[in-house]
Amino acid sequence: MIKYSAQARSLVAVDCIIFGFDGENLKIQLIKRGFEPEKDQWSLMGGFVGQEESADGAAQRILSELTGLKDIYLEQFKTYSDPGRDPIERTISIAYFALIDINKYEKQISERYHAEWFLLKDAPKLIFDHDLMVADAKKKLRYNAALHPVLFELLPEKFTVPQLQNLYEQVYDTVIDNRNFIRKLNSTGLLIKLEEKDKSVSKRGAFYFKLDLVKYKAKFQSFLNFMPHPEA
């Protein structure tokens, strides 16, 4: 076998930032690292890319092991290659973020990795450069959500407009004008209004909606200006 004999070897890993929404709060899933260095410290879910798999394949495998799912929204967003990022060996990490409806999947979360959900704003300090990865993932999520209806991946099959607005406010860490939000939302044509209401918050209740999946797929690449001034 021919090799590039004069070149140094590096390990390639993937790390997954898993965002979840439980209907009220935006959260991040973290695990306790099971080996040294930094054993028992909080970490992103990750692992090394196998000899016979792609980076995408490794990320999908790792998420499947953690959640039992194979159809999660998953997107690669950045590569981290600082020579000193891992104190043991030179490791290049390809980062992904995933979007999960927590209520739909919480029973499938594996106990093997001691995974826990944390409020995104209250997450503990993470190992290595994982805090930087989370910060970059948040920026990328904000950018994507301004251009595409990607946040619907975090919602249950039926949801209310207040739930959706709450989700956008948490992602962007801002207060959104209700009337303007509803106007822009109606202009997308993505929602189907249901007869059923959610009366858990008030007697009047709020109508449930569901996503028009046909329009969702058709408009995914042209969902512009839903939030102002996206920044990567």
Q: Are 19 and 100 in contact (CB under 8 A)?
A: yes
pLDDT single digits (tens) 125-135: 999 999 999 99
Picking from 93, 115, 147, the residue at the C-terminal end of a domain is 147
Domain housing 164: 157-222
pLDDT single digits (tens) 139-160: 999 999 988 889 999 999 999 9
Q: How far apart are the two ends of the chain, measured CA to CA in Å? A: 42
pLDDT single digits (tens) 44-67: 999 999 999 999 999 999 888 887
Assigned domain for 232 exists: no
pLDDT single digits (tens) 57-106: 999 998 888 877 778 899 999 999 999 999 999 999 999 999 999 887 76
Question: For the whole model, what pTM was predicted?
Answer: 0.89
Cα(101)–Cα(183) distance, integer angstroms: 25
Amino acid at 156: P
Cα(92)–Cα(7) distance, integer angstroms: 15
184 vs 136, residue with greater confidence: 136
User: Same domain for 171 and 140?
Assistant: no
Query: Which pLDDT value is given to residue 106?
Result: 66
> What's the number of domains the chain is made of?
2
User: Same domain for 57 and 93?
Assistant: yes
Picking from 88, 117, 147, the residue at the C-terminal end of a domain is 147
Cα(134)–Cα(115) distance, integer angstroms: 16
Query: Which pLDDT value is given to residue 207?
Result: 92
User: Same domain for 27 and 87?
Assistant: yes
Assigned domain for 228 exists: no
Q: Are 157 and 208 in contact (CB under 8 A)?
A: no
Query: Which pLDDT value is given to residue 225?
Result: 57
CATH number at residue 105: 3.90.79.10
Assigned domain for 38 exists: yes
Picking from 147, 174, 198, the residue at the C-terminal end of a domain is 147
pLDDT single digits (tens) 157-206: 999 999 999 999 999 999 999 998 888 888 888 899 999 998 777 777 89
Assigned domain for 66 exists: yes
SS3 219: helix
Q: Are 169 and 176 in contact (CB under 8 A)?
A: yes
Assigned domain for 69 exists: yes
Query: Residue 111 has what DSSP assignment?
Result: T
User: Same domain for 20 and 77?
Assistant: yes
User: Same domain for 132 and 171?
Assistant: no
User: Same domain for 20 and 44?
Assistant: yes
Cα(113)–Cα(95) distance, integer angstroms: 19
User: Same domain for 84 and 103?
Assistant: yes
User: Same domain for 54 and 136?
Assistant: yes
Cα(74)–Cα(59) distance, integer angstroms: 8
